[in-house]
Structure 1
Amino acid sequence: MKSFYKTLVIILMMIFPVNYHVKAVEEESNTVPLNLRINMLPWQEVTTILPNKTTFTIIDFETGLSFHVQRRAGKSHADVQPLTKKDTKTMKEIYNNKWSWKRRAVIVKINDQLIAASMHGMPHGAGALNNGFPGHFCVHFIGSTTHRSNKEDPAHKIMILKAGNQLDNYLSKVNPQELIQTFAVAINQEDDYLLDQILTKSDHQQDFNELVKDITRIDISEKELLKSQLEGDHAQLVKVPVVVKIMTKEDGRLKKEISFTIQRIGLTDRWLINRDELYEEFIAGE
């Protein structure tokens, strides 16, 4: 935790060397300066902090790159646009110079406040600024929903938790069905770190990684997960069979039933997906 905030201090000092002042985090201190805390704020509160036409800074959690944006619209999340062509260029660099719907953990900076958030990187809809960005993109916060639903997007939720340094705490409490949904998020967002956090270690890890690289998308419906019957809170191993839709680079669209073996060492330990057994499920029938 302390190293995370010390890294954040360095990033912020590099980004805002003139008008952003932070206190040094002492090695022996267990506290964090208030203006360095990343707040997990609900959308209902964020929308009042960032009303339409507000300009603010987005910091990418993974790379530390930052750019300026303006909120232009959005009822259940913020529809924003890069402020200038330079900001558009930086945003595209974050996405390896290719626009993408993939979600990324980001930190929103407004004045001296930091807020955990998630963004995607695909221009869509209308745009009004002379910034070289053909439309707008979406920034989600806790409780935000997508344009087409009244539910939180699972991938945005995971990225918000990641940005707020709350992912480990969340994963320690998820049930087997939620863990499977998190697995789908990790695959679809190409998040190797998240994948390693929810799978058991394996002597055949390289084979599994090669298999995963061939998958471009996996869909597991909530209805499928709700159908699964678990053995109660006192189980240490459960099998959850679900029908999944898979898109692969080699074979295109596939639909098959996969049984997830989910285990934990003790009743107070976190659930993990058995990597070896999942690998066998994926290659079965090939």
Structure 2
Amino acid sequence: MNYVELLILGAGWTSDFLISLLLQNDITFAATTRDGRDRSGYKTLKFEFDPDSEDPSPYRILPDAQTVLITFPIYKSGGSKTLTSLWKETHTESKAAFIQLGSTGIWNGDRTLKSQQRPIWLDRHSKFNAANDRARAEEELLGLSPTVPTTVLDLSGLWGGQRHPRNWVQRVAPSKEALAHKGSIHLIHGVDVARAIIAVHSNFAAASGERWLLTDCRVYDWWDLASAWGGSSPANSSPAGNPSEPSGIVGPQPAWVRELMKESGIHALPRPHSTFDRALDSREFWDTFELSPSKTLLSA
């Protein structure tokens, strides 16, 4: 296979949703893993990115592509340039565009944001933590445009399949004190990540050189979720194994939420956005590509 429309570098969790959608849309693809194992029923190519290596040989087995999707994080300075340079060296006629999957975590911990009036609404143009290694690598990649078409999709909390937020409550709220400090959570389903990738692939001119922030256009409240689910775990899911269909609420979290509501003067859930440290606004992506999130309100 010398050419595909989409090449997935690092076929992990996202690829389980993406490959299915690529097949539905008759988009040719290839995918890589570190060991060349099967993924979603398809044989992958063996490839491992080494940001410290200038050896082009691992890239020679990769087919040329219209779009190259980088699913793994790049932390090392110069890593993005190394990857694209070695790609060009081994695919001299390629006009490939590059999508890097990132995280909305780059908007965490930036002290310049703390002085803003709450609620802190952040969008893709908001200042981010410039000291974040991942953000620096993304900036490097975006800086290659327009010579090399590039874009970054920064994703909020990923869920779908057996990965469900109800199973995270015990980990993030093992005590009342821990739960008291939990505010907002932003999510996006794997299906919508896949739809977003294909939308960018199909209209890269609208994305080139830009960083995008992706959520399902909702702000969830950890107290609300903990109250509804308690400290459930996969073992407490329905007999069918569907974590979105609980067999019952377990754990002390609902009682803790009631106590915290009384102590904080909160009359009902979810809490007002003004009580949160941040709220993410991802409307611009969905408006630009004329899409709407399909998996919202934690629907199955």
TM over 0.5: no
Greater relative CO (CA pairs within 8 A, separation 6+): 2
- TM-score w.r.t. structure 2 length? 0.28
Q: TM-score under structure 1 normalisation? A: 0.29
